[in-house]
Amino acid sequence: MPGAGKTTVGAALAQLMQWGFVDVDDVVAAEVGDIPTYIETHGIDAFRAQESAALDVVTGAIREGAAPAAVVAVGGGAILAQENRIVLAATGPVVWLHASIETLLDHVGDGSGRPLLVDGAEAALRRLLDERGALYAQTATVAVAVDGRDPNVIAVAIVKALAS
C-alpha cells in the first residue's frame, strides 16, 4: 500500500541482510522520468506496463544469477497483475507490510504527489486496500505489522518471520 514503508523498510532489510536493494519505482523512473507526470500523461495502465517490465528485468536478473541477491521494493499496485504475482512468488519470499489506514495516512499526508490519492487520501487508501488486501494476503509469504514500529525493528521482524 502507498505509505506502508516499502522503500524505507526494504532498505533497512537489505542492510541487515547485507544484500542489495532495488526499488522498482526507481527503475521505472529511470526509464520514464517523473512517475506522477508519466501517469498523468500516459495513464495508469501505461505505468502498470512499465512497472511490470521493470519487475521482470529486476527479478529475472536475480533469478538467473546475473544480479546479486537483493531486497526488491515493489509498488503496491503491482500485485494487481497476475503475471506480477507469479514473478514475485517465483523470485523469493514476498513480504506484505501490513499497515492500518491511520499509519498509511500518517505517511502519505494529503496524498500530494501520489496520483492514486489525489481525490482524497483516506477514501482512496480505503478503496485501494479493499481492492488489494486479498491479493496481498494470498501472495505474501509473510505479513508483518508496521504500525508504530521503527523500520529497523520491522526489518528484524521480517527476518524472524521468514526464518520460522
DSSP assignment string, 108-143: HTT-TT-GGGTT-HHHHHHHHHHHHHHHHHHH-SEE
- Report how far residue 105's alpha carbon sits from residue 108's, in angstroms, rounded to the nearest whole number: 5
What mean pLDDT value characterizes the chain?
Answer: 95
Query: What's the domain range around 33?
Result: 6-155
162 assigned to some structural domain: no
50 assigned to some structural domain: yes
Residue 112 has pLDDT above 90, yes or no: no
Q: How many domains does the chain have?
A: 1
Grade residue 89 by pLDDT with cuts at 50, 70 and 90. very high
Encode pLDDT of 28-55 as tens digits: 999 999 999 999 999 999 999 999 999 9
Residue 48 DSSP SS3:
helix
Residue 95 has pLDDT above 90, yes or no: yes
- Residue 145 pLDDT: 97
Q: What CATH number is associated with residue 128? A: 3.40.50.300
- Residue 35 pLDDT: 95
